[in-house]
Amino acid sequence: MNDASSVPLLSKTRYAAGLQCAGRLYRMCFQPELATPPDAAQQARFDAGTRVGELARNLRPGGVLIDEPFFRHDDAVARTRALLANGATSAIYEAGFTEAGVRIRADILSTSRDGRELIEVKSSTSVKDEHLDDAAIQLATIEAAGVSVDRVCIGHINNACVYQGDEYVPGKLLTVEDITAKARDVAAGVPARIATMREMLAANDAPEPDLGSHCHKPYDCEFYDYCRQGEPEWSIEELPGLNDERRRDLRVGEIRSIRDIPVTFRLSAAQQRVRDTVQSGRPYVSSAFLHDLARITSPAHFIDFETVAPALPIFAGTRPYQAQPFQWSDHVLHADGSLDHYEFLADGTADPRRAFAETP
């Protein structure tokens, strides 16, 4: 066992990881180099979340931003305490706290005649269960520091808001939802969960990879590729809709490859098709599919299109997360076997929807 002083501090992100999987938390703290770097799409989502958080500060304007970087967290805590002590500002953005082995930065901590309000900002369009955990650890940490909180909220995107094409209006783009009662209920269990996580981190050995539905819920784990690297060809993880009970039954029976699943093992119809196809080596083609193919007449068009659905709308008249088409492709197969190809790809920053629809 490591001594308590060597156990890394938890953060909101690390706490959420620990709730999802002990291995994810351990590797996040001690083996971050094993993570798969975010791809361009993931990074774009992260960047959008950051932008939403910045816009949300205008929900409680006139505050002070604690802009010390993460590696100067102690300075952020000291500055936060000074602002709270003198009461000179009505809102603190990225307020810093460290208590009981946890350090956090609160998105918005505001004060009014109605009391002190904690707002956790999310780029989703509703409050989700995992958001309660995020708010709860912040609430527990802030109040452990001796700062009372009267109201806990989630600020999230209002997907009914129609963008007018100019500056974003935070009061319309974002909704603030009171979750105080739920957050307090969840916060009551935070100290015990933190103790369990810190005990695991104090151990000398990393938790063994534990594949399951938790690898992707509520978030995709960045260590999934690492944990799966020892899986055989045609891993049971590739079975569609495999639940944790069926997965556990297979692994207890030391079955890790679809090739080894016995015909007596209970599977869904779709899973049975996958098993039979893998084990026989012959592709599955349904009779209905062959019937539908026979009905196609020449010329046959094979059409594909792509869309983007930004959290923050970029074209006037659109809403958050509304799908915006920007590319189409059409392969035309003629009776003599010849193939033509037509395509459209938006170029530049202008709204591509009319051009998408009108391009021949």
pLDDT in tens, 236-275: 999 999 999 999 999 999 999 999 999 999 999 999 999 9
Domain over 4-202 is classified CATH 1.25.10: no
Task: Identify the residue with better confidence: 335 or 3.
Answer: 335
Cα-only R_g, the chain:
26
Q: Is the pLDDT of residue 229 over 70?
A: yes
Tell me the pTM: 0.91
Band of pLDDT at residue 88, cut at 50, 70 and 90: confident
* 2 has pLDDT over 60: no
Burial of 333 (0-12, 13-18, 19+ CB in 10 A): middle
Mean pLDDT (whole number) for 144-171: 96
Q: Where do the structural domains in the chain lie, given as residue ranges?
A: 4-202, 231-284, 296-358
Q: What is the mean pLDDT of residues 31-41?
A: 96
Question: Would you state the pLDDT for residue 174?
Answer: 97
Burial class (CB in 10 A: 0-12, 13-18, 19+), 261: buried
Q: Are strands 64-65 and 91-99 parallel, antiparallel or unpaired?
A: parallel
The sign of the dihedral angle between the CA atoms of 100, 103, 106, 111 is positive
CA distance linking residue 191 with residue 210, whole number of Å: 25
Answer whether residue 25 shows pLDDT above 90. yes
Tokens of 30: 């001690």
pLDDT range class, residue 6, cuts 50, 70, 90: confident
Per-residue model confidence as pLDDT tens digits over 282-332:
999 998 999 998 899 999 999 999 999 999 999 999 999 999 999 999 999
